[in-house]
Amino acid sequence: MSGELKRGLEGVLVTESKLSFIDGDAGQLVYCGYDIEDLARDASYEEVLYLLWHGELPTSEELDAFSDELAAHRGLDDGVLDVTRELAEQDESPMAALRTLVSSLSAYDENADFEDVTDREVNLEKAKRITAKMPSVLAAYARFRRGDDYVEPDESLNHAANFLYMLNGEEPNEVLAETFDMALVLHADHGLNASTFSAMVTSSTLSDLYSAVTSAIGTLSGSLHGGANANVMRMLKDVDDSDMDPTEWVKDALDRGERVAGFGHRVYNVKDPRAKILGAKSEALGEAAGDMKWYEMSVAIEEYIGEEKGLAPNVDFYSASTYYQMGIPIDLYTPIFAVSRVGGWIAHVLEQYDDNRLIRPRARYTGEKDLDFPSVDER
């Protein structure tokens, strides 16, 4: 097969989308025409979900109705809770547990086996159920593994605040709730990243929405995708434990041939705009807590890597310290990424269903040809 080989499909256009636009040279991210800085400052996660799924911002009445519908779907069936408890007792990793639990949710959705998997209205109902329940199963898993009881969802709280409530058993203060809501907005979509493309490939076979989201979760679990934020925080803790100057620690790591987590991006050639926003949040949380250690350490590493390697931080670099200062366990960072990104996954799957063509690329064969087949005795 002839043609230029593009490993990792880098730079290859495979579809058209109205969902998100990225300018890697300018450091710009746009959802459906709206700049991410405006959305992070002014929009709730519920508004962003509606925007991605409907292509326009909701009116006040539409937002209230949409938010109420999401909240009404947060509760978990006993069978799902049983599986969640068993996975926690078996010490299953959080991402593997989330993958299994999201797949299991289809057993309790009366529309899961709807004959036409491309039916938009049916899929929007599935989307609400999946998106509403993902934070619930993650919070339940986290509580069960530390020996705590399940906390029922509070429909009076928004999507972000309710997750923190179900995770910790107490209503979060306004600063924490707003910070987490902003983090969900920032992670909601990002073009054809690996997990989104995985969901699209699955849905292009006319598999159902639950299968597509489960595929995406499995893809996100890799350290080169969603796992990077947890690696950043582990690195920062190692730096702290070493009692070394952050720049000296990083220099030693680079001299050993190690990679510094949270830097570089396939799309951005400048600082990730989401990193700018979360960096400011990390600073604010540090100031509020009276402990600037994590933020100052991050800034020192960012400046050193920028000067020495010409690399800018991506969203994972500052989401790590932001989540850590919120008291979120490190191994929940990637599942939280999934809890947000499910909105974008679903939006892209809906687009795929609307104009579907089976995604089926080809590979250039480099193996042997025309070999004579030997009998088993001749091998």
Please, what is the average pLDDT of the chain? 93
pLDDT average, residue stretch 209-224: 94
Q: Which of 17-26, 50-59, 109-118 has the lowest mean pLDDT?
A: 109-118
Q: Which tens digit of pLDDT belongs to each residue from 10-19?
A: 777 889 999 9
What pLDDT is attached to residue 2? Answer: 60
Band (pLDDT 50/70/90 cuts) for residue 259 is confident
CATH code of domain 28-221+341-354: 1.10.580.10
For the domain 227-326, what is the CATH superfamily, name and number?
Cytochrome P450-Terp, domain 2 (1.10.230.10)
Q: Which residues are catalytic?
A: 265, 316
Which residue type occupies 61?
Answer: E
Structure tokens at 87: 């996975």
| pLDDT more than 70, % of the chain | 99
DSSP-derived secondary structure for 278-341: HHHHHHHHHHHHT--HHHHHHHHHHHHHHHHH---B-HHHHHHHHHHHTT--GGGHHHHHHHHH
Q: Is 34 helix (H, G, I), strand (E, B) or coil?
A: strand
What are the residue ranges of CATH 1.10.580.10 in the chain? 28-221+341-354
pLDDT in tens, 69-115: 999 999 999 999 999 999 999 999 999 999 999 999 999 998 888 88
- What mean pLDDT comes out for the span 222-249? 90
Helices vs. strands in the chain: H and E counts, helices first: 16, 3
The per-residue pLDDT for 229 is 85
| Mean pLDDT calculated for residue range 199-207 | 97
Task: Give the model's pLDDT for residue 1.
Answer: 55
The pLDDT of residue 188 is above 70? yes
Q: What is the pLDDT of residue 80?
A: 97
The confidence score (pLDDT) of residue 240 equals: 94
The pLDDT of residue 4 is above 90? no
Across 163-175, average pLDDT: 96
Tell me the mean pLDDT in the region 169-194.
95
> Please, where in the chain does CATH 1.10.230.10 lie?
227-326
State pLDDT tens for residues 333-361. 999 999 999 999 999 999 999 999 999 98
Encoded tokens for 318: 């500052």
Take residue 194 and report the two structure tokens written for it. Answer: 């690996």
Average the pLDDT over each of 37-46, 243-252, 265-274 and give the range with the smallest value.
Answer: 265-274
Q: Is the Cβ–Cβ distance between 321 and 313 less than 8 Å?
A: no
Quote the pTM value. 0.93
Predicted confidence band at 256 (pLDDT cuts at 50, 70, 90)?
Answer: very high
Query: In this model, does residue 27 exceed pLDDT 80?
Result: yes
Q: What is the DSSP letter of 106?
A: G
